Structure 1
Amino acid sequence: MMSERKHLDGYATGMMLLLCTIWGLHQVAIKAAAPDIAPIMQIALRSGLSALLVGIVIGCSRERFFRPDGTLLPGIIIGVLFSVEFIFVAEGLRFTTASHMSVFLYTAPIFTALGLQWFLPAERLRPHQWTGIAVSFAGIVLAFTGGSISTGFSLEMLWGDVLGILAGAGWGVTTVIIRCTKLSEAPPAKTLVYQLVAAFVLLLVYAAVSGQAGKVSMTGIAWASVLFQGIVVTFASYLAWFALLRRYLASRLSVFSFLSPLFGVVFGVLLLNEPIDACFAIGALLVLAGITLVSRPHKSPRSSDQIMESSCPMTSEKAADEI
């Protein structure tokens, strides 16, 4: 039986600020190490490391994670989608900035909301959510066109931005599949393993086929990026998120997740010296405002919590009572 969730206190607020800082650094870490190790290889290696760590957690658990429960087929599907999402992220970061990727990747709640309304009657979009989608779309258009107005048209950056949107769409579709299949009742660690193992295998294959597997020079920054992603981002921060979800209301926690792309933009500017033009800044704020509207709780508390979970960095790893 699901235990009662609490409202936020100082501990939860501090933890969410820390987690959003970590998630905001994610794309920046990949971009920073890209000269030494291809982004696709970073994500593949970090997925393998995280899968190993989650496997250790599962091995220490008393719960039978891999009993037949109808999750194998949807698990394979979300594993493939998770891999495709991060192929878009890795390829996009070759052409656009970490700041742009941080914003466009977080359009995922828009695609989640659009997808869920077709499959779950309780998730039909309300007028304010349609308004949020319109505002986000306007922000995307402005962010796309702003750079060409202020700095000259760059087809490469535009392509990278498009890949960021496609990554957000892939994330959203993954969430819809999880919510509408047996995975919605599966332990989150099991869902996470499906994704991480698939990503490790499929991204290594893609790296080999695309000729990027050889672009690996394990310098200090390369090691730091892979270890940060594998241990801190994809493993420790996700476990911390699940632990918070067991104690606090998801709709309250998830409000903080909108800080992640803002932190991503700030870190991109401060650590990578990435340029930010006024049009992109305004467009990014419109996108975030639209996402906030889409994810705003409505009358059904349980439904609103579920929608808010969809906006978080680990939406693809279903939040549940047990891990």
Structure 2
Amino acid sequence: MSKPQDRWRFILATAAVLLPFAWAGLRELRGRDVAHQGLLGLFAIGGYIGPIAGSIQLGVAPGTASLTANLLPLTIVLLAASVPGQRTRGWQWAGLALCLTGVLVASGANVDWDAADLWAYCLPLLAVFSLAAATLFQKASPGTSMPASTALFMQVCAVIPVFAVLACLEGEVWPPTSAGFAGGVLWLVAFATLGGYGFYWVCLQRFSIQRISGALFLTPPVTIIWTWLQFGDPLTLSAITGVGLTLLGLPLLGMSPVDGLGSSKAARHSSCSL
């Protein structure tokens, strides 16, 4: 239920790209570190890509699957209260509302709810909850500090058996031997696995959940602008409006509630002293 490119890019990324950079860190790992990263890989990579690819194969329109996947930052922010120190507060809620409205307005035209059976539309939702669970688990229990290349290597390795089993069930064990397929895999390795997912995991270690979610809300605007520049797709009024609302909400969503609370307390203390 996953595309050949989705299966084989992980094998290529592991064998040809990640292993040389991860080798030094792998020698210092303990069993619980491997289990921790493996669990993250199963939920964040296998649990996200597998259901979305499966829903598209079952007839769900790519635009509809993409719109559902764009609910990921909303899900993460709503569940952030379960992680100590990550609760959403104040103006961040206004930013979340603006970003969500922008995504829905910009992507709503691509929705088609009649292309597949109703249950197939639950698969993108399952993907959203899977990656959201992995994100919150990593924030709540970061585990042992290690280089990003080492963590990504183990997460990728954890999903190789999953996609290998799917490949056997589909009868497509070996990838096509064509230049187009090889180029597609290299593109996915460089930009999706290492550039997209790898960068997401690095940001998760450094920034708050709200700021990370704000970056995820940029996915539809960037896609819309890229398709306009690259393929000449028209920029509709709804797309422009949605992009504008998202950009207005990002600074609010990225505000630090701790700093804001501290500033408010300082202001009250100053006024009382006067």
User: Same fold by TM-score, threshold 0.5 exceeded?
Assistant: yes
Is the CA contact 1:89–1:167 (under 8 Å) kept in the aligned structure 2? yes
Q: Tell me if 1:116 matches 2:75.
A: no
Distance change (3 Å), C-alpha of 1:161 and 1:272:
farther
Deviations, residues 82-115 of structure 1 (Å, cap 9, x unaligned):
2010113323454333x66666545433322223
Distance change (3 Å), C-alpha of 1:160 and 1:177:
same
Q: Which amino acid aligns with 1:190?
A: T
Q: Which runs of 5+ in 2 are unaligned?
A: 261-274
Q: Which runs of 5+ in 1 are unaligned?
A: 1-37, 302-323
Distance change (3 Å), C-alpha of 1:184 and 1:132:
farther
Distance change (3 Å), C-alpha of 1:243 and 1:58:
same
Deviations, residues 224-267 of structure 1 (Å, cap 9, x unaligned):
11011124442367778899999xx868x977775544332334
Of the three residues 62, 65, 73, the one matched with 2:35 is: 73
Q: Which amino acid aligns with 1:41?
A: P
User: Which one has a bigger Cα radius of gyration?
Assistant: 2
SS across alignment from 2:3: helix
Q: Compute the RMSD of aligned alpha carbons.
A: 4.4
Distance change (3 Å), C-alpha of 1:67 and 1:238:
same
SS across alignment from 1:155: coil
**Which whole-Å CA distance do the structure 2 matches of 1:71 and 1:213 have between them?**
32
Of the three residues 162, 168, 189, the one matched with 2:149 is: 189
Give the equivalent residue in structure 1 for 2:188.
229
Is the CA contact 1:58–1:65 (under 8 Å) kept in the aligned structure 2? no
Give the equivalent residue in structure 1 for 2:130.
170
Aligned length: 253
Give the equivalent residue in structure 2 for 1:24.
none
Of the three residues 222, 227, 234, the one matched with 1:263 is: 222
Is the CA contact 2:67–2:108 (under 8 Å) kept in the aligned structure 1? no
SS across alignment from 1:90: helix
What fraction of aligned residue pairs are identical, expressed as a percent? 17
**Which whole-Å CA distance do the structure 1 matches of 2:233 and 2:174 have between them?**
23
Distance change (3 Å), C-alpha of 1:142 and 1:292:
same
**Which whole-Å CA distance do the structure 1 matches of 2:195 and 2:155 have between them?**
16
Name the one with the larger helix percent. 2
Q: How does 1:132-211 map onto structure 2 within 5 Å?
A: 132-138=95-101, 146-147=109-110, 154-156=114-116, 163-183=123-143, 185-209=145-169, 211=170
SS across alignment from 1:299: helix
Is the CA contact 1:116–1:123 (under 8 Å) kept in the aligned structure 2? yes
**Which whole-Å CA distance do the structure 2 matches of 1:243 and 1:142 have between them?**
30
**Which whole-Å CA distance do the structure 2 matches of 1:50 and 1:237 have between them?**
13
Is the CA contact 1:129–1:293 (under 8 Å) kept in the aligned structure 2? yes
Is the CA contact 1:110–1:291 (under 8 Å) kept in the aligned structure 2? no
SS across alignment from 1:183: coil
SS across alignment from 1:213: coil
Distance change (3 Å), C-alpha of 1:185 and 1:193:
same
Q: Which amino acid aligns with 1:54?
A: L
Q: How does 1:217-256 map onto structure 2 within 5 Å?
A: 217-235=176-194
Q: Which amino acid aligns with 1:46?
A: R
So what's the TM-score if we normalise by structure 2? Answer: 0.67
Deviations, residues 174-214 of structure 1 (Å, cap 9, x unaligned):
111111224363332232123211222212223433x3737
So what's the TM-score if we normalise by structure 1? Answer: 0.59
Is the CA contact 2:73–2:217 (under 8 Å) kept in the aligned structure 1? no
Distance change (3 Å), C-alpha of 1:145 and 1:215:
farther
Give the equivalent residue in structure 1 for 2:267.
none
Give the equivalent residue in structure 2 for 1:54.
18
What displacement does 1:284 show?
Answer: 6.4
